[in-house]
Amino acid sequence: MPGPRAFPVDEKVELDVIKARDRARHARILQSFSGGIVDFQVVGSFDPYVVGLYFTKVRLGSPPRDFNVQIDTGSDVLWVACSSCTDCPQNSGLGIPLNFFDPAASSTVSSISCSDNICASIVQTASAECFGESNQCGYSFQYADQSGTAGFYVSDLLYFDSILGTSLIANSSAPIVFGCSTSLFGDLTKSTKALDGIFGFGRQDLSVISQLSSRKITPKVFSHCLKGDGNGGGIFVLGEILDPRIVYTPLVPSQSHYNLYLQSIAVNGQLLPIDPTVFTTSVNQGTIVDSGTTLAYLVEGAYDPFIASITAAVSTSAASTISNGNQCYLVSTSVAEIFPPVAFNFAGGASMFLRPIDYLVHSGFVDGAAMWCMGFLKAPKNQGTTILGDLVLKDKIIVYDLAHQRLGWADYDCSLSVNVSLTSSKDEYMNAGQLSVSSSSSNSILFRVMHERHIAIELYIFLAVGSLFL
C-alpha cells in the first residue's frame, strides 16, 4: 500500500524539495540495513614539505555541496566552515577551492537547540556549550597544536555511496550532526594548507562513524591505507579491511583517543633502556594513533634513548648534525642500507615495524649529501603523550575496530586493492581501491579507484549470475 502523499496534489512543489524529501526517506530506509560499506576518496600525502596531511571530500546539505576535510582520527567532530565565518581563509595553497556551508541554503538542515537531547549528551563530553541568547547548541574546542574553532551544531544529510550485499546504492544519504564553524584561530586561519574543515573519526558518540554505526548504516569499524610515495592518496573506508598479516592490539578502554598499550621499543632488535612507566596511560600521558598529526612524537623518557641508539647505529656511515633544533643526518647512500629497523611493541604481542623512511624525513641536500632528519620529535614535557602520526601510519593498512575495541595494522602497498569485509560474521568480502569482491562462490564485483593527483574515481560493477551469499 503506498504511503500518504507528501505534498497536496493542487500545490506546485519545486523538484529540489521533492528530491530532498526523497533523500531523507532513503536515509530512514537505509537505517534498517546492517553492514553497508562506504568508501571515501583520499587526497594528500604525509610529506610535510608537500602537503603534510590527508583529506577527503564529503557532500552535505540539499542541494548537496562538496567540502574538502582533513581525515583526523584524533578528534571527534566533523565540522566545516560556515558562511558566516569572519576569519576563515578565502583561498588555499593546496590548489583547491574553499567552500562554505550555508544553513539557509539547505532545504534539509535542522538546528540543534540547547534543549535538544543531542545537545545535552554532547555537553556532557565537553564538546559543546549552550548559547543562551540564540538557543543554539554551540561548540568551542582547541586542538593539540593550539589551533581551534568555534561555531554551532546542525543536522543535515551526509551523502555517500554504500554497498549492501551485491547492490551498490549510489547517492545514499543519512542525517548527521556536524559543526558549522563561525570562527577559527591558530594555524587554521592560515591559507597555506587551508581546507573546508576537519573530519573527526574519534571514539566518542558525535563522530561520524559512531553516528552511522549506531543506526546500523555502517559497521562499527573503519580502516585506511595511506599511500606514502608519489602523489600520496590512498583508501579510507567505513568497514573492515581484511588481510591475513594484520596484527591486533587492544585499545585502552574509557579513553577519548585511540590509546594503545605501548610496552617497549627496539632498534635493530635490541630493546631500548626505557622505563615502561613513561608509556602508562593517564590524564596527560599515553600512546595514541592520530591521522591528523603529520609526524610522530615521543615522550622524553623514550625520545633520548631512541635518538641515541639510531645515532650510534649509523655513526660510521652518516654524519650527525642539528638543523633548526632537530636531529639530522648527512647521508651519501640509501637510508635503507644504513639505518636500522625499529619495532614498537604493543600489548598482545603486536609489533609495528618501522623502516627508516617511517621515522626519517628527507630535508634536502647539504654539500652534495642528502640530509635526513628525525620525523620523531620530543613531546612537550607538560603533555607526555607519544603520538604516532601519518609518518608512521603511511604504507600500512590500519583498522580501527570499535566493535571489538582493538586496533590492527599490516604493511601494505596502498596503491593496490584491499579486501573489505561485507559482514561481521561471514567470509564474504569486498575490495576498495582496485578491487574485486568475492565469496566462496564465483561471483565478483569490481570496484576500481584510479589514484591520480586529485583522485578521480571510476566505478565498474560486474555482477555474475547468482547470489553472493550462500
Amino acid at 217: I
The alpha helices in 300-416, defined as continuous H runs, are 300-313, 335-338, 390-393
Residue whose C-alpha is closest to residue 72's, from 213, 197, 221: 197
Distance CA 138, CA 151 (A): 6
In degrees and rounded to multiples of 5, residue 301 shows phi and psi of: -65, -20
Distance CA 412, CA 87 (A): 40
Q: What angle do CA 12, 17, 21 make, to 5 degrees?
A: 120
Distance CA 279, CA 252 (A): 12
Strands (E), 201-318: 221-226, 234-238, 241-242, 247-250, 259-260, 262-267, 270-271, 286-289, 296-298
Among this protein's residues, is 72 annotated catalytic? Answer: yes
Among this protein's residues, is 76 annotated catalytic? Answer: no
Could you tell me the three cell numbers for 239?
568497514
Amino acid at 233: G
CA 381 to chain centre: 27
Of 39, 72, 76, 156, which is the active-site residue? 72
DSSP three-state, residue 55: strand
Give the CA distances from residue 12 to residues 21, 150, 292, in Å, rounded to whole numbers and listed in that order: 15, 40, 47
Distance CA 175, CA 118 (A): 13
CA 253 to chain centre: 20
Of 47, 76, 116, 290, which is the active-site residue? 290
Distance CA 105, CA 118 (A): 23
Ramachandran region of residue 239, left (φ > 0), alpha (ψ -120 to 50) or beta? left
What end-to-end distance do the CA atoms of the chain give, in Å? 32
Distance CA 330, CA 343 (A): 23
Tell me whether residue 282 is exposed, middle or buried, using C-beta atoms within 10 angstroms of its C-beta: 0 to 12, 13 to 18, 19 or more.
exposed
Active site members:
72, 290
